[in-house]
Amino acid sequence: MRKAILSTVLACAFAAHAQTVEISVSNPATFSRDNEIVEVDETAVKSRLGSRSFVLRDNKGNEIAWQATHDGKIIFPVTLSPGETVVYVAEAGEASPVSPLVYGRLFKERADDMTWENDHAAYRAYGPALQKNGERGFGYDIWTKSVAEPVIEKRYLLNNRKGISFHKDHGEGMDVYTVGPTLGGGTAALLDADGSILYPWSFSDYLILDNGPLRFKVMLIYPPNTAEKGIPATETRVITLDAGDWLNRTDVTYHGLPEPRDIVAGQVVHRQNPEGYVLDPENGVTAYADLTENAEAGNGTIFVGTVAVSDATPVYLPLQKAVGDAVGHAVLKGTVENGQPFTYYWGSGWSKGGMENIGKWTETLRHKRRCLLNPITVAVSEKP
């Protein structure tokens, strides 16, 4: 009798879990979405399956890579035609291993660089060791890539152990972007009362929240008074880079800011191409074609840009006095309040890595803005 009761209980328990779960993904827009990362609540999938692991398949039965994030999401890439709905199916089982398309870590062996990458580009934020050395590097650095696979570990290793410079292209990209005492490739900063940029120096602490295979996410903490004029609050930046995306999402929050302040986010403009920027207020976009310091060496063109999420206007801010090759910044200008995030996207493309010209780059940024305004919808249900 007890065995019969136990069998009945177990049968009911197994029956409570679905064998498969459907994830319906819909594109409400009149344009296509190509390899865009979408999110679904992790509990909504795994609680129905009663399994911590599952295999995800598209509507043709092909297995799709997915990642569980630190904040309880399942993310995976989708491609959708205008107005299309595609149903993905999750079934209990062991997913196949996935080669990471994103990666990052603190490179303490090289001045505490926080360096991260996806299949399009790599980026650096400078850490406390660099500040201790007195080097005035305030903004984000950009490393070009012409291959999809991760490269930053190899570049640091070859540079540190064999003296092979990552400032030269050895067949998959290089570090040829000039930052110096500027915003670099997309940094945010407060403005002083006279409209001057309060450059933040280096982060003092960090926490890597997600590290692949599809999303890299890091929190960087900047203490007050890290710049030459001082910053009146602690700053946190949460930077998210997904596989396939040309841009990093960044949420900047100040803690202890006594009143709302003007803030900018954008990229430096160099004398090699002083008028090579685009300001697009209608779409909340700034773009710039950086010809690099030594253009005659065949470095190609690095395209950089920003896309607004928080209320912000594209403007050009000339430097009162040139700093090295830097003559100004093309930025998004907005307002930030204490404890409230200022959110924007920034990133890069390379003429030798699939981004042919400033026109294509600007349209890529505008497309990102359209995608943000027309988010893909996701619904989860048990398969009948």
The whole-angstrom distance between residue 80's C-alpha and the CA centroid of its chain comes to 22
Q: Per the omega criterion (within 30 degrees of 0), is the bond before 213 cis?
A: yes
* Calpha distance 152→174 (Å, rounded): 10
Residue 358: predicted pLDDT: 98
End-to-end CA distance of the chain, in Å?
Answer: 33
Quick check: 200 and 170 in contact, CB under 8 A? no
pLDDT tens-digit profile, the chain (384 residues): 444 433 433 334 444 456 889 999 999 999 999 999 999 999 999 888 887 789 999 999 999 999 999 999 999 999 999 999 999 999 999 999 999 999 999 999 988 999 999 999 999 999 998 888 878 889 999 999 999 999 999 999 988 888 888 888 889 999 999 999 999 999 999 999 889 999 988 999 999 999 999 999 999 999 886 666 677 899 999 999 999 999 999 999 999 999 999 999 999 999 999 999 999 999 999 999 999 988 778 899 999 999 999 899 999 999 999 999 999 999 999 999 999 999 999 999 999 999 999 999 999 999 999 999 999 999 998 766
Give me 69's structure tokens: 């994030």
* Calpha distance 211→286 (Å, rounded): 28
User: In the sheet that 63-64 helps form, which strands lie side by side, from edge to edge?
Assistant: 63-64, 54-57, 85-92, 20-26, 377-382
Per 3-state DSSP, the chain is made up of helix, strand and coil in percentages (nearest 5) of 15, 45, 40
Residue 62: predicted pLDDT: 96
Short-list 115, 117, 133, CA closest to 125: 115
Residue 226: predicted pLDDT: 62
Residue 345: predicted pLDDT: 98
Residue 179: predicted pLDDT: 95
Report the 10 Å Cβ neighbour count for 351.
Answer: 20
| Rama region for 55: left / alpha / beta (φ>0; ψ in -120 to 50; rest) | beta
Residue 11: predicted pLDDT: 37
